[in-house]
Each structure stands twice: as structure tokens, then as C-alpha cells.
Structure 1
Amino acid sequence: MARAAVTVIDAGSAVLGYCRQGFEPELAAELGERAAAAGLPGYARTRRNDGYVLFHCEDGAALAQRLHWRGLIFARQKLQLLAELEGLDPKDRIAPMLAALQGRPRFGDLWVEHPDSDAGKPLAGLARSFGNALRPALRKAGLLSDKPQARLPRLHVCFVAGDHALLAQGDPADGAPWPLGIPRLKLLADAPSRSALKLEEALLTLLSPEEKAALLRPGMRAADLGAAPGGWTWVLTREHLHVTSVDNGPLRQHVLDTGLVEHLRADGFHWQPPQPLDWMVCDMVEQPRRVAARMATWLREGWCRNAIFNLKLPMKKRWDETRLCLDLFAEQAQRPLTLRARQLYHDREEITVFAGSARAG
């Protein structure tokens, strides 16, 4: 049997992050800055359009614990790298993996994945079939529990090529609960626009289930700035909120027909509510610093308790612009807030921000 030329990275020497294709430099910059702030500096290893970043440091296990998934912006998933295997023989990829994992504690689950990139997507079939073969082998070796156990680390096998795999582990309580870090959302036929998926994903990703239940209750009142054609308003009405939709453009009639929507033909960037609201959401196309400043005004003046808004990023220096806008928002809001931001799967050249009263989880 042919032997694989295996390169094994020392246990805990790197953090693996998945990201949107083309945003590897932004994730690398973010990990570098956050690692330095945590006292664990290192260096990133990546290439543009790979869809993932490896960040090497002296103690990757400690860094993975200190970099909380909800606090990362450009990482869809955050994992501790265990081993890197190159030159895998297609006839036997399992034996080198078992050897690399020998002596490790049992895992509670197995996910076999691939980067969400042009090069990675053709590996989806391999990932599906290989998981079915690897799972019983891991159990026979005592490396995988008989049934999924959330209290144990999860094993991730990420194929970056047919003969090249990354082995990593994740904490189910501190990571994306979806393979590839991508929630599987379906665009319903009556959604006014695809942008509805952005708000749905934001509510899943930026809020814990407990926070969502506490902060998004039927009967609450919200404003949707720049609402037309009504995608974000529609999502809020599905949560049974009363929505003031502010836009000079038209809303879809079936959104108005819910009886929960008041459409104001006005400039969402300048309108302010006559009384405080529970929520404000905003997906207007504007300069990100201008949006950040306006959103800060809403929170500072008490016009809303919680907000979700998008910041459209420039083509260059996107990490620098992200930091600048979030710092600007925090400074001008002039009140203690929970602030979380993420580049969602359904985002493009933008990030989505939650600001409000939720406690950091």
C-alpha cells in the first residue's frame, strides 16, 4: 500500500478559520490583530480565494479558546488545527488520518467539509462519501463516540484538495453550528427580495437562541430604514413585530397586507421616530462611516433599544475600514452596548452589525 507523505503540524500550533472567498486577507488581518491583543502573536498562512486561513502561533489551543467565535467578524468557523496531511493516497486516506489522531481524546462528532471556494466546491461529493467511510473507522479506533455528544470536541476534516486535508477540532459551544459555517436557509416564495435571507441569517448568527427569544417578541415595534421592496420588513412581520417601513420607494403589496406595516415615504437616513422603538434595522447603500455615525445617533438618542444594520465595505483596506467604522460607532453611541459584527454568508462586500442590550455570549 502506498504511503502518504504526511506533514503533521504540532498539536495546537494553529487556528483554522473558514471565510468568504476573496476575504482571506481580511480574516488574516483580523486574526493577527486579535492574537496580538491576546498575547499570542503569530503569522497567517493563506492565499487569496482559498476560502480559509491558517494562523500559526506558539499555542494555538490557547488562542482558539481566547478568540470567541461570536467575536470574530470574517470567520465563518473557528477551529484548532491538529494536523495537515498532504500527498494522501486516494486508495487509503483513512490510515494516515488515524495515525495523526492517535492518542487523542474521543471526539463527539465528525464533520467532513471543504472550503466554500471555486476550488473547494468540487470536493463536496468526496466530503460526503468520505465521512461515511471515516466514521466507523474512527469509532473502531476509539476516537469517536457512538452518538453525537455536544460536550466533546467535534472533529473537522477539511479537504482542500483530493490529496490534501486539514484535521481540526472545534468546540460545539464556541463555533458555528452548521457545516462550513453556513446556515442552510431557504428563500421562501413570498419573500420580497433575497436580502430577506441576510436578516434571517443575522438573527441566527448574531444572537443566541435565548437572546433572540428575549429580544424579539410579538407585538414589539420596529423601524426598517430604506425598506423597499420590503425584504427586511417581511422578516420582522414573520416575527409578529409592528414595523414602520421608511423608504420613498414602493413595498410589495403582500407585505402591506399583513396589517403590521406602516409605510412612510421618507428618507430613511434622516427620519426619526416620534417615540422609542424596540428595534431598528437598516440595509441602505451608503458610505459605511456615514451609516455607522447615523446608527450611533439612533442608539445614543434612545430612538431604539436594539439595531441590526449593514456596512458596505470598500474594495481595499476592508479590515481597516471595518475597525474604523465599529470604533466610530462605539465612540459616538456614548453608552455601553453589546456590539457584534459578522460577514454573513448572504452578505457580499459588506458586514452586518448587531448593537443593543444582549449580553455577550
Structure 2
Amino acid sequence: MQTLAPSPGRWLWTCRAGFEPHLYEELAWADAAPRLLGEALVESTRAPPLAPAFARQGMRVLASFPLPSPGLSADALARLVAAQPLASPLVLQAFTPDTPSGNTLAPQADALVEALRSLLPAERLLEDAGRAREAGARLISLCLAPGLAVLGEVLAREALSLAPGGRRRMRREADAPSRAAMKLEEALDGLPFEPGRGEVCVDLGAAPGGWTQRLVARGARVIAVDPAKLMPELAAHPRVRHIQESAFAFAPEEPVDWLFCDMAWRPLEVAQLLAKWGRRGWVSYLVANIKLPMKDKNPLLVRVRHILTEDGGWKGLTVRQLYHDRDEVTVTAHRR
């Protein structure tokens, strides 16, 4: 399947394959005139004020080239980048749609960006993408898709992710009980801060202990709430207190620092539970995973946002389908 070319000045969004209709719907609701370009790629006329939950990354299009194209070279890309009124420093990245056909183009995309890097002044480039926001940098990204190459840019502080294409791959530890730990690591990676040593975290629906394990590794104290059993090594850990009861029945004895929740439960009921914690001032920071229904995903997310902000008083709410999320989204928020 060939990819349609986006127009310069418009926005290119990439998402998890199969979720293009949900991203399209989000952008349509925001009056951003979306257009499906190909698998895992959607165009819009502008970036909406509310970051799309189903987008992994978005960028303003500078130029596009058909593939194969004799005009697509590192020299041509360097001229395009140099012609833009872009503030230094720059972070150069390459990505492909997260699809079988897109992934085959990754070596070509990486090689082009490396050649482009060698042609630009070193003083304009920031090698550490993790510092891009604090440095006021821009992300310059080359996306290679079947039949198409797109060069785009976005301010780092406005980017949905600092990882190329929003694909933040986390390493699964050998002793991790499930992939759930990678979801937590990716969520925390996107925050400007994370649980510190000695901070108190509540992990609702903790068993078998994937999230609790990663929080303990950061030095936190964890109240793990779940009727089921934890892994024996976690249950015996001096900084873990296991309360074997329902997350819906539990109330902390005193306010805690962080609330974590990754329960396979009805999403609106989970949202109402998280809102209760915010409304009663039981916690300062929230990281939670919300499972999505087979249909009507966007209407459900509208209701989840309303419950958390209007009923729960949570501020700074983000709702994102992260790389390690499947049919789910990750929400983060704070009370301070």
C-alpha cells in the first residue's frame, strides 16, 4: 500500500497500527480536517489544542518526497533544514510507521539521518534528546513510509514524545512478572519527575507485582492493594505492605505521594475510583492505565476526562496511548 503525501505546513501524526480511525475521529472532532495517508499515518491541517490520545508523535511537514526519488538525498535534506528559520539546537531523528512494511525501511531512514547529521554544523545539533525540552530544541524528523519520505519539525516542548516516532521501547527486566512493568517505565519516562526514595506509593490492583516491583527499585515505599497474592519476594520486602482487599474498598490512613493503578476493570468505574482519590485529597500524583472498549473509544475517553478533571479535580491531565499500551491508554495528572 502506497502512502499518500501530506502537504507542507500541515501536520503528520503516527499511531499504533489499527488505531487510525480513532486518531482520525479525534482530529475531526477538533476541526483539524484529518486525512488518512496510510497505515499508522494521519494528516491534519493543524495541531489541536488537546493532544490526541491515539497519536504517538506529531510534526509539522516541511517537505515530502516519493520513494524511490533521485531528489531525496542527505544534501537535499540539509538544504531544506538550513533554509528553515529553526532555532538551535536541533535534534535529528528518523522513524518509520510501526508496521511490517514500514519497519523494513528503518535502516534506510537511519542512514539518511546519519548522513544529514554529518552535513549540518555540529554546534546546531543536540546529541542528547533527553535534554531537548530544557534546551529549547526542535526535533527534526525524517519519516520513511512505503512509497514516501516526509521531513518535519516540532518544538521539543510541544512534542508528544522525545523518542523517534513516539516509539519509546523499554527494556523488560529478567525478573519482571509481566509486560506491565514496561508500561509503567514508559509512563514515568514521560514525566518531569518520578517517585523518589522514601515517597509513599499506592498500587491499586497490584498483583502479581509488576508495578510494585519497579517502584520499590526506585526506593519508594509501596502499599500494594489487591485480593490476590504478590510474588513472594515482593510480599516479604520491607518497603512493601500488601493489603489483600478490593481497590474500591481501600482508603489510605493518611495522604500519600503517588497513586498507581493498572486494573483490568470497567473503565468508567476505574475513572470514578481515581476521581474519588483526587476529590478527597488522598494523593498528589496519579499514573493509571485505562482499558478501552471494543467500540466507542473516543466517547469513553471524553467521559473519563470529565470524571477525572470535573469530579476528581485532577490537574495537568494527559491521556496517551503509549508504545507499550495495547487496547488501553495511560493517564497522568497531579493535584498540586
Q: TM-score range by the shorter chain?
A: 0.7 to 0.9
SS in 1 for 2:83: coil
Is structure 2 residue 191 aligned with structure 1 residue 195? no
- Does structure 1 residue 83 correspond to structure 2 residue 60? no
Q: Is the 8 A contact 1:15 1:80 kept in 2?
A: yes
Match of 2:329 in 1: 351
Once the 2 structures are TM-superposed, how far is the Cα of residue 336 of structure 1 from its aligned partner? Answer: 5.4
- CA offset at residue 192 of structure 1? 2.5
> In structure 2, the residue corresponding to 1:27 is in which secondary structure?
helix
Shift of 1:186: 0.8
User: Amino acid of the residue matched to residue 200 of structure 1?
Assistant: E
Aligned amino acid, residue 169 of structure 1: E
Q: Residue 315 of structure 1 aligns to a residue in which SS?
A: coil
2:163 — aligned with what?
178
Deviates more, 1:268-277 or 1:224-233: 268-277
Q: Residue 124 of structure 1 corresponds to which residue in structure 2?
A: 106
Distance 1:345 1:236 in 2: 20
Contact 1:8 1:85 survives alignment (8 Å)? no
- CA offsets 1:186-207 (integer angstroms, 9 cap, x no match): 11112222101111111112x2
Task: Report what 1:52 is aligned to.
Answer: 41
**1:43 partner letter:** A
2:7 is aligned to 9
Q: CA 1:155/1:267 → structure 2, altered by over 3 Å: closer, same or farther?
A: same
> Which letter maps to 2:7?
I
- Which of residues 115, 125, 135 is equivalent to 1:148? 125
| Structure 1 residues 8 and 315, CA gap change in structure 2 (3 angstroms) | closer
In the alignment, is the contact (CA less than 8 A) between 1:8 and 1:100 conserved in 2? no
The two structures, once aligned, show a CA RMSD in angstroms of 2.6
Query: Residue 160 and residue 256 in structure 1: after superposition, are their counterparts in 2 closer, same or farther (change >3 A)?
Result: same
**1:110 paired to 2:95:** no
Which secondary structure does the structure 2 equivalent of 1:135 belong to? helix
How far does residue 308 in structure 1 lie from its aligned partner after superposition?
1.5
Percent sequence identity is: 33
Matched, 1:135 2:117: yes
Asked if 1 retains the 8 angstrom alpha-carbon contact of 2:6 and 2:61, the reply is no
Q: 1: distance between equivalents of 2:15 and 2:6?
A: 23
Q: What's the CA shift for 1:313?
A: 0.6
- Offset at residue 314 of structure 1 (A): 0.9
Task: Give the residue type in structure 1 aligned to 2:157.
Answer: A
> 1:53 corresponds to which letter in structure 2?
V
Count matched residues: 322
Matched, 1:167 2:127: no
Letter in 1 for 2:14: Y
Bigger shift: residues 269-278 or 314-323? 269-278
Given that residues 17 and 53 in structure 1 are in contact (C-alpha distance below 8 angstroms), is that contact kept between their aligned partners in structure 2? yes
Q: Determine if contact 1:94/1:134 at 8 Å carries over to the other structure.
A: yes
Q: Deviations over 1:35-80 (max 9, x none)?
A: x4xxxxx3111157x1221112xxx4xx4xx647xx4422221211
Following TM superposition, by how much is the alpha carbon of 1:95 offset from its aligned partner in structure 2, in angstroms? 6.2
* Partner AA of 2:59 in structure 1: L
Q: Which runs of 5+ in 1 are unaligned?
A: 1-5, 37-41
User: Any idea what SS the aligned residue of 1:227 has?
Assistant: coil
SS in structure 1 at match of 2:249: coil
Q: Sort the Cα spacing of 1:316 and 1:244 in 2 relative to 1 into closer, same or farther, 3 A.
A: same
Q: Are residues 1:303 and 2:285 paired?
A: no
Name structure 2 gaps, 5 residues minimum: 127-134
**Secondary structure of residue in 1 paired with 2:101:** coil
How many angstroms does 1:16 deviate by?
Answer: 1.3
Distance apart, 1:351 and its partner CA: 0.6
Correspondent of 2:261 among 271, 278, 282: 282
Equivalent positions of 1:324-343 (< 5 A) are 324-333=303-312, 335=313, 337-343=315-321
- Partners of 1:7 and 1:83 within 8 A in 2: no
How does the TM-score come out when normalised to structure 2?
A: 0.86
2: CA distance, partners of 1:51 / 1:265: 42
The whole-number CA distance in structure 2 between the counterparts of 1:93 and 1:168 is 15
Residue 297 of structure 1 deviates from its aligned partner by 1.0
Residues 269 and 165 (structure 1 numbering): CA distance in 2 closer, same or farther, change over 3 Å? same
Query: Aligned-pair distance for 1:90?
Result: 6.4
**Matching of residue 158 in structure 1 with residue 143 in structure 2:** yes
Q: Give distance in 2, aligned partners of 1:8 and 1:311.
A: 32
**Cα distance in structure 2, aligned partners of 1:147 and 1:191:** 40
Q: Report if aligned partners of 1:18, 1:78 keep a CA contact under 8 Å in 2.
A: yes
